[in-house]
Amino acid sequence: LGGAVYRTPGREHTPAVIMILLDEMVKRRKALLSLLPKASAFVLPGYRMQYSSQNIFYRFKQNNNVIYFTGLKEPGDAVVISYDHKWHLFRQPDTPESVLWEGAKTPDDVIKQNHLIDHVHDLQTLSGFIDDLPNDVKLYLNQSQNDCVRFEADDRTLSVDPFIHRLRVIKSEYEIEQMEQSCQIAGNVFNTLRKKLRGMETERHVENYLEAAVKTQGAEGLAYVPVVAGGPRACTIHYTRNDQKLMGNELLLVDAGCVYNDYCSDITRTLQVGKLMTAAQEKVTEAVKTIQQTVLDWLAQNWKHHTLLDLQSVAYHQTVRELKGLGVDPKHVDTLFPHAIGHYLGMDLHDCPTVGMSAKLKPGMIITIEPGLYFTDSLDYPEEYRGIGVRVEDDVLITESGPRVLTENAEV
């Protein structure tokens, strides 16, 4: 449509869809305000559009913190400030050109009503608004490289992220429902992929299938660029070229998840492309499954007073045992299992990073458990294992009565 005079239908007819319940939004805001000191304001810059070139834009992705507290998903103008418990939204006003090309923005009165915003302002007035705050007010900022506005941090600015992450790491009932659905969809898609894999010729087919299948089942799309790694490519942890031929005698490591109502799932299975596995492929696969089961069993017994870091240690020691069983020198453990056993999962894939791995596990947290072994083509390892990479990953909700695997439906 570049350059053509084209009338886009006004977006005033399609006010932003609210995905979160209003009472949920109110609870989240109250919880945040109760954590922050009284004399404070906080700023959540919405993201701006991202471009692949010139004016060719990617599909817009809003800052999840903005979604979490307001449900707002329009680009470039969603800067929210809370001060004196009032919520202010600073927006770029419509121009004749923006209305012509992008359509009109959701009207202010709809924003106020549907997103519980007290006051709407022009984005240009934001810095004046902040300058006018009393001197003793601490400014809590949530900053990232995609922000639609930048602030110079000074001695009265602090990061709001640790406060937000403390809330977001514990999922509400509503959030758990979204996570269950996200995991269910991704698990179903892995199961159908298993059945259809024999008819697929390349890693690209698999990636395309994953994307189409999660969308067909109601997800927004994949949660991240999936890893579809045949044979030795599985040993490259962030392999995403996904463009090679599938071979019947190789394993295929698939790490994929979807986004459903803003919540991510994250699953890995290492699939068999052909009818038979070699003895070495089977041994490595069984070792990784055993490590995962050991961590899950330990978690069931010990979650109450422990942390992700403790799970890392359990995984490490079991990996050492498995390596010995495989006849591999365990001094290579850190190279063969070089990543974390898991992370928090939620609206972001690597959710709430400021909470850290040494926080006590609590009901409402969702974590991944993802052990792996990656035998590159190195003389350090017995020849039979070289070129075999295996990971298995599941998503686990901590409940009062112990861990519950949300991705249980995905066959192992």
224 binds ligand GLY (CB under 6 A): yes
394 binds ligand GLY (CB under 6 A): no
Residue 176: CB minimum distance to ligand GLY, A: 20
Residue 255: CB minimum distance to ligand GLY, A: 5
Q: Which of residues 356-375 bind ligand GLY (CB under 6 A)?
A: 370
Residue 124 DSSP symbol: G
236 binds ligand GLY (CB under 6 A): no
Residue 320: CB minimum distance to ligand GLY, A: 22
- Give kind and range of the element (H or E) at residue 184: helix 173-196
What CA–CA distance (Å, rounded) separates 326 from 348?
A: 36
Residue 186: CB minimum distance to Mn ion, A: 10
40 binds Mn ion (CB under 5 A): no
What CA–CA distance (Å, rounded) separates 135 from 132?
A: 8
Nearer to ligand GLY, 92 or 242 (CB): 242
Strand pairing report for 267-272 and 263-264: unpaired
CA atoms within 13 A on the CB side of 132: 6
* Contact map string, positions 343 to 372, toward Mn ion, x by CB under 5 A: -------------------------x----
224 binds, among Mn ion, ligand GLY, none (CB under 5 to 8 A by kind): ligand GLY
Question: Which residue of this chain has its Cβ atom nearest to ligand GLY in the complex?
Answer: 255
266 binds Mn ion (CB under 5 A): yes
Q: Which of residues 251-280 bind ligand GLY (CB under 6 A)?
A: 255, 266
Strand pairing report for 79-83 and 40-44: antiparallel
Classified as helix, coil or strand, 221 is strand
Nearer to ligand GLY, 392 or 398 (CB): 392
Give 280-314 as a DSSP string: HHHHHHHHHHHHHHHHHHHHHHHGGG-BHHHHHHH
Residue 228: CB minimum distance to ligand GLY, A: 12
Buried b (16+ CB within 10 A) or exposed e, 109-123: eebeebbbbeebbeb
* Nearest one of 280, 255, 278 to 265, comparing CA atoms: 255
Residue 146: CB minimum distance to Mn ion, A: 22
351 binds ligand GLY (CB under 6 A): no
Do you know the residue count of the chain? 412
Strand pairing report for 40-44 and 138-141: parallel
What CA–CA distance (Å, rounded) separates 277 from 250?
A: 8
395 binds, among ligand GLY, Mn ion, none (CB under 5 to 8 A by kind): none
- Give kind and range of the element (H or E) at residue 115: helix 108-115
Binding segment (CB under 5 A) for Mn ion, from list 20-28, 81-89, 286-294, 386-394: 386-394
Distance of CA 197 to the CA centre of its chain: 26
Q: Which of residues 318-347 bind ligand GLY (CB under 6 A)?
A: 343
Q: Applying CB under 6 A, which residues contact ligand GLY?
A: 224, 255, 266, 343, 370, 393
Q: Applying CB under 5 A, which residues contact Mn ion?
A: 255, 266, 368, 393
